[in-house]
Structure 1
């Protein structure tokens, strides 16, 4: 597709008109892949490209692709739906903008902590763990964790598919995690170090979010 090609979209029954350049603004996203030729989209009987997602909320996503700014009305309330759609389209920049907007509007009404734990084992192996609410993790596009709370860095995992949970190969692992936790609206609160056994050194950083900590 040419970047200036006009595109008619049918998103959940809502019709939009845009161009390829806008839809591929973030080429690594799901929607960018759909219109860059990697994942051919489906057309309806009128020739519009079909996306079976929420049509009403898509207006905010399309405007973000056009301007790189999240513009929401003052009394916007469908935050969970917007976050789910941003997650589906895999637009990390939008997910981060949503979190920033929620923080600026004082919508983090629940007091919650995020404990980042670093375990240095004898022999040089370093593992990272994250302890927080599940809904917090779901809203962090660049981080995930397994059932044992071992963190998965989605940034370095892209290049190292065999990388096991708990291991981060970014140039500065702590800075990577600190940035993602801060982007989610958390502020640094405290830290502590302990040696439970001679073969292991543990450092725990605690981050806080909510009205109690603002």
Structure 2
């Protein structure tokens, strides 16, 4: 391989040196250019890497000057993981944004039973109700403690609707509260490409508890 290397990363063109790409010998990126190249080439003879080219510039800046990026951290972190550049991975994990996501938020959500499954259930219900409608709503019940769960079950019995269409989150044992979980649900549904908002559910007449104690309406807007 020539000491000067031309790359096509997802349609973005880069020129660098072989020594830069092999700066961290244990990385996947270094392995790509160790021995006989393991990459295909494009029509111009540039080595082709089928990854987002926009963020490769941050990877390259780090390899050239040890400059840790301050923009697009989540996306750069994914690329650092793909290329297996351990020093960059560790430095990014120490940044407040990545640390908060990996350590704080994910550990909290790991303590909320069936969190991922409930998100998918919300989306399925919303999509099923979206026929010929601009918006569809999903009723969500959030219970933080076992006691709240019992009261919620009692409250559900007074709801005049199909109980299967109510998505229940909790209970959980962690410091973050209901407002924090609501934000997490909104963030994660929006990350899947949906436009969503939420508000406390307005109780029907005869409802046993204040609806804002447990129930929230998530609105999906389709157009």
Structure with bigger helix share is 2
TM value normalised by structure 2: 0.44
Q: Which has the higher strand share?
A: 1
TM-score, length basis structure 1: 0.45
